[in-house]
Amino acid sequence: MKITLGGSVLGLAIGAAFAAGSTVAFAQEPTLSPDAKEQAKNIYFQRCAGCHGVLRKGATGKNLEPTWSRTDKDGKVTEGGTIKLGQDRLEKIITLGTDGGMVNFDDILSKDEIKNLATYIQMKPDVPPEWGMKEMMANWKVIVPPDQRPKKQMNKYNLNNIFSVTLRDAGKVALIDGDTKQIISTVKTGYAVHISRLSYSGRYIYVIGRDGLTSMIDLWMEKPAVVAELKAGLDARSVDSSKFKGYEDKYVIVGTYWPPQYVVTDGETLKPIKIVSTRGMTLEGEYHPEPRVASIVSSQIKPEWVVNIKETGQILLVDYSDIKNLKTTTIDSAKFLHDGGWDSTKRYFLVAANASNKIAVVDTKEGKLAALVDTKKIPHPGRGANFNHPKFGPVWATGHLGDAVVTLIGTDPEKHKDQAWKVVEELKVPGAGNLFVKTHPKSKNLWVDLPQNPEKDIAESLFVFDLNDLSKAPEQINVAKLSGLPESKAIKRVVHPEYNAAGDEVWVSLWAGKTEPSAIVVFDDKTRKVKTVIKDPEMITPTGKFNVNNTQHDIY
């Protein structure tokens, strides 16, 4: 089975930044012409760095350094590297993919591009420049200062039910009125834009691009628009705001992949306040130069963010009540941390250590690890889904990229002690390749996508479980067929179900190629029938959708 994480799209921004980086030649290092090297470098950062790391130390993907050696606890030394693997083998892997989960690139890259990429990864990794306060201040813009912003909501939109929709390859988000299904505006954001998060008041949307550009949108304006921007780094995936009582809308935190660090900013202007590096020792006590910031969530029971560090396997509880004397609790869990969500009480945070096939559970009240739960291969929860299981009580669900199940984990240590932090059930789905699962407190359905499944019919469908009777197989709904979009040979991936504020509609993206029509298909949650198909020439590669109310209050 072959799976892809959608391809790392970091892009030209970081590629160009390498002009200022350093490159030292290895004795046996192969060479490329300057043009070929430049092209291969950009491909590496667009397609490979997300999984293998900028410095190629490996994470979800394997280590791709020219040479490496590792010493285990018993002193045994293992050596390897891309030079040892050699040009032919590397070209074959890139062309055909691997059983370990790497996608084949022969339908994305030309033969020459594959050849040059195989050579490039035998050369010493380029080291991008650092990005500190000087660079951030030079790349911080307040477009509308707080005192010139509206004092009250100047439009008639039902702000609670607006969706911020990632238009991935357009570098924009579409703000869609959830009541009328009309696009309010498309707003220019960062390159290969990734996720949106809300300020606790629900007024501001914070959007993060893979190029580190953080955009702040004011929903009170007559036509909501970007009021501040900060380029927080060269490669990023996560952003959140301060949500604890008394700190609403006060701070924003942006986590970056490169440089590996997080920055705390002012919540009204994005002015950087404090930058904290995440470089340091792994769980095994080895120095890692690139521990990237993966998911970040904001606690509502303490003035804290939960910051998940991918390569070290450590979960940081960052207390923002005193930024000058920043207190951080460091919790050891497992590698490589990726995405996750709260349980229904919002006391426990569950995060996927995807390459270890584990879910780590943090008790944010006590500030410690509650459990490490073994699961099937490559859990990928998104934010997960919370519901009351008829037999086991409160559970949190995650899908898997690497297995054909949805895992249910008990989350109630008080009233369902025997089930707490245990896998209580695995719901069967028709294949691997899940990215997101979703339900809502008012719903009796669990919606599951399988966009990374190689079968067209599966990747173009949603699978819906009845929460009243989980013994029933999920209903398959072929979204592509129902959408009315023209048939195409290429797969239109169904991705990221998201509820509206009332919890009676499910919105899902039909993610086609950049030059083909895509759409958002809206289902009635009760009847599971299509209500509306949102199509528009601006609807280019829609992926994540973030409903204001549900994102603001962490409802999932």
Is 543 a binder of ligand DHE (CB under 6 A)? yes
Q: How far apart are CA 424 and CA 419, in angstroms?
A: 6
Is 260 a binder of ligand DHE (CB under 6 A)? no
Q: Contact letters (x/-) for ligand DHE, 394-433, by CB under 6 A?
A: ----------------------------------------
Buried b vs exposed e over 12-21: b needs ≥16 C-beta within 10 Å? Answer: ebbbebbeee
**Of 338, 376, 389, 440, which one interacts with ligand DHE (CB under 6 A)?**
338
State the minimum distance, in angstroms, from the CB of residue 91 to ligand DHE. Answer: 22
140 contact partners, CB below 8 Å, separation of at least 6: 228, 229, 230, 231, 270, 271, 272
Catalytic residue (one of 194, 288, 338, 440): 338
State the minimum distance, in angstroms, from the CB of residue 19 to ligand DHE. Answer: 22
**259 preceded by cis ω (within 30°)?**
yes
501 and 548 Cβ atoms separated by less than 8 Å:
yes
Is 347 a binder of ligand DHE (CB under 6 A)? no
Catalytic residue (one of 194, 288, 380, 416): 380
State the minimum distance, in angstroms, from the CB of residue 300 to ligand DHE. Answer: 15
Is 256 a binder of ligand DHE (CB under 6 A)? no
Q: Taking Cα atoms as reference points, which of 467, 473, 492 lies closest to residue 482?
A: 492
Q: Taking Cα atoms as reference points, which of 555, 59, 51 lies closest to residue 341?
A: 555
Under DSSP, the state recorded for 468 is T
Tell me, yes or no, if 51 is annotated catalytic.
yes
536 and 185 Cβ atoms separated by less than 8 Å:
no
Tell me, yes or no, if 400 is annotated catalytic.
no
Tell me, yes or no, if 52 is annotated catalytic.
yes
**105 preceded by cis ω (within 30°)?**
no
Is 437 a binder of ligand DHE (CB under 6 A)? no
Q: Contact letters (x/-) for ligand DHE, 484-513, by CB under 6 A?
A: -----------xx-----------------
Tell me, yes or no, if 288 is annotated catalytic.
no
Is 234 a binder of ligand DHE (CB under 6 A)? no
In angstroms, what CA-CA distances link 454 with 132, 427, 432?
42, 20, 9
Considering the complex, state which of residue 294 and residue 450 has its C-beta at the smaller distance from ligand DHE: 294
172 and 250 Cβ atoms separated by less than 8 Å:
no
Is 307 a binder of ligand DHE (CB under 6 A)? no
Is 243 a binder of ligand DHE (CB under 6 A)? no
Tell me, yes or no, if 380 is annotated catalytic.
yes
State the minimum distance, in angstroms, from the CB of residue 362 to ligand DHE. Answer: 14
Q: How far apart are CA 459 and CA 2, in angstroms?
A: 13
Question: Burial, 527: exposed, middle or buried (Cβ in 10 Å; 0-12, 13-18, 19+)?
Answer: exposed
**Of 266, 304, 339, 425, which one interacts with ligand DHE (CB under 6 A)?**
339
State the minimum distance, in angstroms, from the CB of residue 110 to ligand DHE. Answer: 21
Catalytic residue (one of 102, 123, 216, 539): 102
Residue 508 corresponds to which amino acid? V
Active site residues: 48, 51-52, 102, 338, 380
Binding site for ligand DHE (CB under 6 A): 5-6, 8-9, 50, 166, 168, 194-195, 237-238, 294-296, 338-339, 382-383, 435, 495-496, 543-544
